Every structure is written in structure tokens, then in C-alpha cells.
Amino acid sequence: MTADILLVARAAGGEYEPVGFLDDDPALLGLRFLGLEVLGRISDLQKVTHDAVIVAIGENQTRARIFHAMVARGERIVNAIHPSAVLARDVVLGRGVMICARVVVNPTTTIGDNVILNTGCTVDHHNVIGSHAHVAPGAHTGGDVRVGDGVFVGIGAVVTPGRTVGPWAIVGGGAAVVRDIPPHTTAVGVPARLVKQHDT
């Protein structure tokens, strides 16, 4: 998906042109996706001519770990923003943010590093979305919502205005968050209820 965003953005005059993928699955080596080759493992990055990277992994903990490794290496980390996304003029974006097709981000919102805003989700005014979070397709956050680092907001979930979802929490698909969600918990249902505590 990230490669497609970059290719569509490039065709629309965007700055970045993807050169290929790196993946630790040896079965993918040499295969092509969207016309771009899997060039090697992530550890092979120094062998690939490049001027920037973006970490395109859906699972938050893995994406965070690799993102921090890239930062430690001094890599330039860029954003992938689909041309159909609508971002208010004062939205603040971190590094390595992926914003998919038809996403809307409203005014006075801050998006942290290494965040995925997936297809058709909406992030309303005065939100703070923490680093390494993933807001899944069709999910919506109301005004003045706080989404902590590493949070996963599932497909079609709704976080109502003024609510906080604590770091590394999981909001299940289709859930309606009407009360704050503590860190390191999983909440599901309408209204969302806590069903699990986890360490990460």
C-alpha cells in the first residue's frame, strides 16, 4: 500500500520515487510488486542506493522497532501521503507517517512519528495521535481525542469526542469508545468495554 501511495503521489508531481522493497522473508527476494523489486533483507539497506526510507509494516511494535533502528542509523525518513487525502493547513506531521486514500485530518491536530492513517479514516480537530499508532480503515475520532503511542484503532471503530486511548491499547473493530481506555488494554463492543490487559 505504501508503494502505491508513493507511486500515485509521484505521478501527481510528488517528490519521492520508490526504488524497491526490503523484507526479511527470503521467499520474497527478487519478486516484484507494483513493478518494484524486493531487493533484499532489511539489513541489506546499506547496499541499496537510496536517499530516504519509510517503514511499511502494519504491526505497531515491529514498525516501531524498525523505525527506531532506522533513526539510529541516521536514515532520512519520509512520509507517504495519498493525493486524495485532505489535511488541514495547520496539521503537524511527524516522520514516517503513512496517510492513505480518502483520509481526512482536521485542524489543530498533531500526528506523531511512524503513524498509519489507513483508508478512509477521519481524525477530527484538536486530536493528538501518538507515535507508532495505527488508525485502521473507516475508523473515526471525534474532536479533542488523545490516542497514545502504539495504539491500534480497529476497522470502523469510533472514538467519541474528548476521550483518551492510552498507550499501546487496542480498540477492536467496530467498537464505540465512550470512556477513556487505559494503557495496555483491549476494548471491544458498543459501548467499548475492557476485555484484556496486556504487557505490550
Active-site residues: which are they?
125
11 CA to centre of own chain: 22
Output the DSSP codes for 178-200.
Answer: -S-B-TTEEEETTTTEEEEE---
DSSP class of 2:
H
Q: Are 179 and 195 in contact (CB under 8 A)?
A: no
CB atoms within 10 A of CB 16: 17
Residue 187, exposed/middle/buried by CB under 10 A (0-12, 13-18, 19+)? buried
Give the cell for residue 66: 524498525
With CA atoms as reference, report the closest residue to 107 among 143, 76, 69.
Answer: 143
